Structure 1
Amino acid sequence: MIIGLSNIAFEYRGTIQDIIWLFYPGAELVAEDRGDFSLHLNLGNLEELFAEAQLFAKDVSLAQREEGQPITPEESPNELKRLARMAVYKLLVSYSRTNPSPWGIMTGIRPTKVVHRLLDFGWDIELVKNYLQNNYALRQDKANLITSVAGIQRPFLLSKEQTKKLIAIYIGIPFCPSRCLYCSFPSYPIKRHRDMVDPFLKALLKEIQVIGEAIKSQGLLVQSIYLGGGTPTSLNYDKFQLLLQAIQQYLKTNHTLEFTVEGGRPDTLNDDVFALLADSGVNRLSINPQSMNQKTLDIIGRAHTVEDIYDSFESARKYSFPTLNMDLIIGLPGETVEDVARTMNSVLMLKPENITVHALALKRASILKQRLAEFPLLQAEEAVAMWQETARGAAVLGQQPYYMYRQKQMVGNLENIGYALPGHECIYNIQMIEERQTIIGLGVGAGSKWVDPETFTLVNEYNAKDPRQYVERLDQYIARKLQHIGELANA
């Protein structure tokens, strides 16, 4: 499909493109008055805030005007963009006679950030819900969801003074037993890339030591540590032990409330690994099946069985980890609503303290993207029914949604959502999504979020996704982090 945009509409295409693509995925936007139909946009100024959108098709012309007021004068530019998105959204709802997303014009990754901003202004929950429905076109159930999630998160958010001292650490391990069909993360099958392991680990241990020493010397405190990937436990026992010893020596202190490890794949776990994790102070462990259906595990490239998942989970319980998490994905190739229901019934038997449910997102870097002809994506109605099955299971376990985020090209325009028993919420997940705490990323593909304690604005920086590039550029990454650590300590 080709959609023509007027001069102003084309100038604002970065603002309205996501809205148009909700209705017409991948439509080509051109700066001409041609195509299947054309969109015109007229905007007010910072003193008179309004947006007018017009649509011209062969036999149809429609118009939509939106007016509004910023919450504070400083937010006038953002309010003008919101009005433009809302005018285009309502216009396309009228033209297409469809409403493709329960999230309205909220197409960003972190919708709860809007809720926290309003709560910071002293708004009550009911006022926030009404604002979201009227100003972002959220469906009522989604407005209820994100205000509920934000309510659980509020006690975990840091004050400005705390933000100057408390930080989080993410450590990225790029190796896995095999690469899953849907995966877009930096992930290298460890047997095929065994020559990378030693140089990578040597570099990572250096980064942990130098950054850990700088953190301590500047009086910063590590609140949470998250060891992810990839699959960290794909490292052999001796190498994994070296890694955990370095984390213990340079990063973890008595102020560290949470230490999460992505065990991920049950084929990388055994009693020796569980004992090592427990002795290293890990208090949140993820064992992630994604599905409890063997046919699905085979399709997506998991080199383990459903029985392996049961065995690993039951073995982990013997080591008294306070919190066990299970990740699930809805929308996996070939799965039905009945398959997801079977997965949830299996999860109910295991009774994890956390369940994280991901809606499949089609990523350019995934094998799935290249093989779509073999694995067609779900219809929205099926995806919603699967989501409801997972929500039902979490409720049976007494778990509440405590964090969430969205991605582009998610099945059913849904969301990724974490459920937890009260008292078992993942601190790192909350801080990472809400972006009110500095997170220092170490290792391959790791992202750092450097938060300004006064404004909660942030700078994102990333290590290379390729292990060889990471090793080559390590000194550059370390120098950059040392500068930021000094700035944070002096804030």
Structure 2
Amino acid sequence: MSTIWLDGLAIEHRKTLEDIVRLFFPTAEVKHGQPQQDDQLTSEREEDEPAGWLKMWEEEACGYIAIEAEFSLVGYRGYRVVAHQRETLTAPNQSDAANQRKRVIRLCVLKTLTQATGKLPGPWGILTGIRPTKVVHRLIDEGYSAEDILEIMTEDYAVSPAKARLLYEIARRQRPFLLTPAQAERLVSVYIGIPFCPTRCLYCSFPGYPLARHRAWVEPFVTTLLKEIQVIGEVLHTYDYAVQSIYLGGGTPTSLDIGQLGQLLEKINHYLFSSATKEITVEGGRPETLSNEKLSLLKGMGVNRLSINPQTMRDETLQTIGRAHSAEDIVQAVERARRVGFSTLNMDIIIGLPGETVADVQQTMKQIMKLAPENLTVHTMAIKRASRLKEELVAWKLPTEEEVGRMLEVTKTVAAEMELVPYYLYRQKRILANLENVGYAFPSHECLYNIQVMEERQTIVGLGAGAGSKWVSPADWTLINTYNPKDPNDYIKRINELLDKKKDMLHGLRRKPTH
């Protein structure tokens, strides 16, 4: 493993620069300061992996800031400068000068390391965060034209032209669904986290406790969750909030037995549902949890969007990743859901799964096309820190970056053939080939919750184990994130404390003026 040293201005901005450095050197150890002789960074062996030394400085004068970066390789018999870059920020907007300076610093480092290594790691430039569409929404808010936005994304953020167009297309499609400040003062959405699954998948880092080992936890968890729904529902009513969308995720919510699921949906309908509620989604990811009885219950209790998630339609891969079902089980679950009357189905797939090829993804998409879901979510495999895959990475053969890129193109092509359009996008750390996750929808079947949670212009109240809340201030679209404990037992023990915190947050938001 190599070492990358950050020096000068780079130390001051180390938090924002480390993710740029890791685009080029994903396994490097990042240190701060100057490499010294006694650090043994020089080597007498030419085959040793070199270290890197990134130095940065700035020059500020009337009306502009110049940022410079120099990258040296430190290794066999000393060091040598291999790249130098200078970027200038002219007449920065004083209200946003800090963010503009940060952007230029990141851009300078990206260009320096591209020059040094001869490669550009992926199409996303300096946008290493989860929500790149937020940048485009801000530019639209500020009145920029489509042409200007595409130029800014490619020149100022180093995003590829194709990804810049994709971001703009998605942002324009989302605009009718975004709330005005006045709407955001009273409309919230609710996420409900159910942390139990039939089995734990190889790649998963979400709260998901296998039922075989944790069945005794389910009943006390459900009892506590019912209390949280009731109390928060009453508080929302007191402060005149209405719930626009409700999303049951996890975990696998449909791993609850039919009695528990019925109790949960009754409580939701009584305390959260109103005439303002446009959407209730349930993650029924595992087909073995979707009996005719459960599907009828979901439909009868107002659920109007259901996810049935194959991840792949290749049986060998399903076995490898720990799914206790076959591709045929998925087909049958979709047929059952259609017979019950579900008119909006989502299906998730993952590209980059261990052992899969481009041909496997083509076959998966061919089968999904026959099932004709109204929503399709394409995830690019991410090596998540808390997953079993991360712990056992050396044992698995993952596709190359070039193969993953071709897989993503296959999904894009088939989605277009299905008349599905991209409507939301997000990215993750340690995602293969530095790519993205894209949600597609048949027009008029877009998932409201997915748009709101990604663009962060609506308060999301998180209930249940591992659920995150986003407390959004409509005055300036700033937000505070809070989280329920992932462990169901901690959640149960701390429920009164968690309820008090949510009451305080809702009260505080209600008192903040939007003007």
- Whether 1:487 and 2:487 are equivalent positions in the alignment is no
User: Which residue number in structure 2 is paired with residue 312 of structure 1?
Assistant: 333
Distance 1:181 1:321 in 2: 30
User: Which residue number in structure 2 is paired with residue 248 of structure 1?
Assistant: 269
Between 318-327 and 420-429, the greater mean CA deviation after superposition = 318-327
SS for the counterpart of 1:364 is coil
Aligned alpha-carbon RMSD (Å): 1.3
User: Which residue number in structure 2 is paired with residue 43 of structure 1?
Assistant: 58
- Whether 1:21 and 2:42 are equivalent positions in the alignment is no
1:413 to 418, 423, 434: 434
Superposed displacement of residue 198, structure 1: 1.0
Superposed displacement of residue 61, structure 1: 4.3
1:361-380 CA deviation, whole Å, 9 max, x = no partner? Answer: 00111111111121133211
User: Which residue number in structure 2 is paired with residue 32 of structure 1?
Assistant: 33
Between 3-12 and 155-164, the greater mean CA deviation after superposition = 3-12
SS for the counterpart of 1:143 is helix
- Whether 1:116 and 2:131 are equivalent positions in the alignment is no
Between 381-390 and 67-76, the greater mean CA deviation after superposition = 67-76
Runs of at least 5 residues in structure 2 that lack an aligned partner in the other structure: 36-40, 42-50, 74-78
User: Which residue number in structure 2 is paired with residue 294 of structure 1?
Assistant: 315
1:397-422 CA deviation, whole Å, 9 max, x = no partner? Answer: 10110000000111111101100011
Counterpart of 2:471, as a letter, is W
Please list, as runs of the form range in 1=range in 2, the aligned pairs for 1:344-423 lying within 5 A after superposition. Answer: 344-423=365-444
1:268-327 CA deviation, whole Å, 9 max, x = no partner? Answer: 001101110111111100000000010011001111111110000011001222310000
1:400-452 CA deviation, whole Å, 9 max, x = no partner? Answer: 10000000111111101100011011000000000010000000000000001
2:212 to 186, 191, 195: 191
- Whether 1:53 and 2:69 are equivalent positions in the alignment is yes
Superposed displacement of residue 26, structure 1: 2.5
SS for the counterpart of 1:123 is coil
Distance 1:206 1:261 in 2: 20
| TM-score (norm. length: structure 2) | 0.93
Q: Is the 8 A contact 1:8 1:41 kept in 2?
A: yes
Distance 2:214 2:4 in 1: 46
Q: Is the 8 A contact 1:69 1:79 kept in 2?
A: no
Between 249-258 and 71-80, the greater mean CA deviation after superposition = 71-80
Distance 2:326 2:187 in 1: 40
Distance 1:304 1:163 in 2: 41
Counterpart of 1:42, as a letter, is W
- Whether 1:265 and 2:286 are equivalent positions in the alignment is yes
SS for the counterpart of 2:284 is strand
Superposed displacement of residue 43, structure 1: 2.6
Distance 2:348 2:204 in 1: 14
SS for the counterpart of 1:357 is strand
Distance 2:498 2:490 in 1: 11
Counterpart of 1:52, as a letter, is E
Distance 1:159 1:72, change over 3 A: farther
Superposed displacement of residue 12, structure 1: 1.4
1:55-99 CA deviation, whole Å, 9 max, x = no partner? Answer: 233333432111124773211011111111111111111111111
Distance 2:93 2:208 in 1: 44
Q: Is the 8 A contact 2:24 2:113 kept in 1?
A: yes
Distance 1:71 1:432, change over 3 A: farther
Distance 1:332 1:69 in 2: 45
Distance 1:202 1:83, change over 3 A: same
Distance 1:423 1:292 in 2: 27
Distance 1:292 1:54, change over 3 A: same
1:458 to 459, 479, 500: 479
- Whether 1:12 and 2:13 are equivalent positions in the alignment is yes
1:25-65 CA deviation, whole Å, 9 max, x = no partner? Answer: 12122223324231111134596322111123333343211
2:463 to 412, 417, 442: 442
Count residues in correspondence.
491
| TM-score (norm. length: structure 1) | 0.98
User: Which residue number in structure 1 is paired with residue 46 of structure 2?
Assistant: none
Distance 2:482 2:32 in 1: 33
- Whether 1:2 and 2:3 are equivalent positions in the alignment is yes
Between 134-143 and 369-378, the greater mean CA deviation after superposition = 369-378
Counterpart of 2:387, as a letter, is S
SS for the counterpart of 2:207 is coil
Distance 1:102 1:376 in 2: 24
Q: Is the 8 A contact 2:82 2:116 kept in 1?
A: no
Distance 1:248 1:28, change over 3 A: same
Q: Is the 8 A contact 1:383 1:411 kept in 2?
A: yes
2:110 to 58, 70, 89: 89
User: Which residue number in structure 1 is paired with residue 48 of structure 2?
Assistant: none
Distance 1:71 1:418 in 2: 35
User: Which residue number in structure 2 is paired with residue 148 of structure 1?
Assistant: 169
Distance 2:298 2:345 in 1: 13
Superposed displacement of residue 191, structure 1: 2.3
SS for the counterpart of 2:56 is strand
Between 295-304 and 318-327, the greater mean CA deviation after superposition = 318-327
1:238-264 CA deviation, whole Å, 9 max, x = no partner? Answer: 111101110111101111001000011
Q: Is the 8 A contact 1:70 1:79 kept in 2?
A: no
Distance 1:425 1:319 in 2: 21
Distance 2:219 2:225 in 1: 10
Distance 2:29 2:333 in 1: 48
Please list, as runs of the form range in 1=range in 2, the aligned pairs for 1:328-339 lying within 5 A after superposition. Answer: 328-339=349-360
Distance 1:158 1:101 in 2: 32
User: Which residue number in structure 2 is paired with residue 129 of structure 1?
Assistant: 150
Please list, as runs of the form range in 1=range in 2, the aligned pairs for 1:94-105 lying within 5 A after superposition. Answer: 94-105=115-126
Counterpart of 2:52, as a letter, is F
Superposed displacement of residue 23, structure 1: 0.8
User: Which residue number in structure 2 is paired with residue 432 of structure 1?
Assistant: 453
Q: Is the 8 A contact 2:8 2:57 kept in 1?
A: no
Distance 1:107 1:438 in 2: 24
Distance 1:70 1:276, change over 3 A: farther
Counterpart of 1:5, as a letter, is L
